[in-house]
Amino acid sequence: MDAALIPEGAKRCSFPKFMLGIAIVGAVLLWGVYAMLLCWFKGLNQTNMNDYYGFALWIWADLAVIAVGGGAFFTGLLKYIFKIDELKNIINFAVIIGFICYSSALLILAIDIGQPLRGWFIFWHANVHSMLTEVAFCLSCYFAVLTIEFIPNILENRQLNKVPFFHHLAHNMHGTMAIFAATGAFLSFFHQGSLGGVAGVLYGRPFAVREGLLIWPWTFFLFTWSAAAFGPCFTLLVTRITEAVTGKKLVKDNVIHLLAKISGWMIFTYIIAKIIDTIYWANVTVPGLGYELSHFYTGNSLYGYWILVTEIIICGVIPGLLLINKSTRENPNLRLLAIILGVIGVCLNRWVMVLQVMAVPVMSFDTWALYIPSWQEVATTILPVAYGIILIAVTYRYLPVFPQELELNQSKAQES
């Protein structure tokens, strides 16, 4: 039925089977859209946020998708600026994942502001003393970069590419992509950093506040570093899931090994910096503010020392070591374990730096604020996942996302 749109020589499932899958995920998407509309039409009273606890669950999701979406800017930087040519075989998919992550982040922000009709105020009446203004500027501009990076892949669709103008446009955009990638890296550095900077300058929140360099707290650099380190892990993870779902090998092992190795070294160096930061914070910053470390990890039923150990050792040191060691990196199961731990680690880091920060009691009469999100928050947090699955399914079906797919599956196609 849609055979004319499918890339030449590529095997895809039947159209009814594809539509059935889309319908199932689409039902989850509609649930999220319903919750989103409730938040827009009835207001933020649909959430469990209050004056004491002002961060909904989706703010964690927002920071997490931005962190894991960092694979797009970092892979683009490596491919177009550092000229690591092997990455051309995974860059299309990295861009699609980045596009999904950043469009989801913007959607979440549109829900979070409560009155999306006033979303443009952040540009028009910008508060130039706020790091979040910088985040909004860089997020919007970087989403434009991702859209520009995504367009050539769309134009390479079998039918669109027959239109001479689209064919030339895709070709010319490929030619100038280094400029867009460099702009994207510049924008990503600042918005990833400023999201960390927001936590680091919370002087009233001793769990988050950090010293730093000039106006930038150390969290500014740690957030950028962690996004560049763990973002490629997420790209590799989604690639592996896509291969499992399609039953095909889509990217050659040497490309996967290379990206895993780069990610491993980035994680390893990041986690050393993170450990130094944590030790300095625990031994100098915290006592200097009149607290003890135990204040942040005891006296409640959820946030114990386990979260610190899990984030830094289990989901930081271990994946870093597994990925920098050649034998463990080239073992598919151990590599998969490392990238799963890595993705959990960066998501946990964002959870700690957003939700635990708000939960820790600050005043002597305060108690732990253990937040339970409403179903509307859960639904709007799952919404981007459903949207991402649908977009990946559609792009995989109709666009030449993986340049090595035909070569890797030729023998299978000949057999069938």
Helix (H, G, I), strand (E, B) or coil at 125: coil
Minimum CB distance to another protein smaller for 148 or for 317: 148
Site string for another protein, 190-219 (x = CB under 8 A): x-----------------------------
Helix (H, G, I), strand (E, B) or coil at 43: coil
* Residue 105 zone, left/alpha/beta (φ > 0; ψ -120 to 50; rest): alpha
Q: Is 126 in the site for another protein (CB under 8 A)?
A: yes
Minimum CB distance to another protein smaller for 156 or for 277: 156
Minimum CB distance to another protein smaller for 134 or for 156: 134
Q: Is 124 in the site for another protein (CB under 8 A)?
A: yes
Residue from 25, 141, 321, 369 binding another protein (CB under 8 A): 141
From the list 13-21, 140-148, 273-281, 311-319, the region that binds another protein by CB under 8 A is 140-148
Give start and end residues of each alpha helix (H) in 43-130: 57-68, 70-76, 91-112, 121-124
Q: Is 180 in the site for another protein (CB under 8 A)?
A: yes
CA distances from 217 to 134, 283, 345 (A): 15, 17, 21
Q: Is 154 in the site for another protein (CB under 8 A)?
A: no
DSSP state of 217: E
Greatest alpha-carbon span in the chain: 72
Residue 166 has a CB neighbour count (10 Å cut-off) of 18
Q: Residue holding tokens 């050539």? A: 152
Closest CA to 148 of 217, 69, 207, 76: 76
Minimum CB distance to another protein, residue 84 (Å): 22
Residue from 48, 133, 278, 331 binding another protein (CB under 8 A): 133
Which helix (H) or strand (E) is 202 found in, with range?
none
- Alpha carbon 314 to chain centroid distance? 20
Q: Is 172 in the site for another protein (CB under 8 A)?
A: yes
Residue from 169, 293, 344, 390 binding another protein (CB under 8 A): 169
Residue from 19, 20, 27, 179 binding another protein (CB under 8 A): 179
Tokens representing 52 are 């004491």
From the list 89-97, 134-142, 283-291, 317-325, the region that binds another protein by CB under 8 A is 134-142
Residues lying near another protein in the complex (CB under 8 A) are found at 123-126, 128-129, 133-134, 137-138, 141, 144-145, 148, 164-166, 168-169, 171-173, 176, 179-180, 183, 186-187, 190
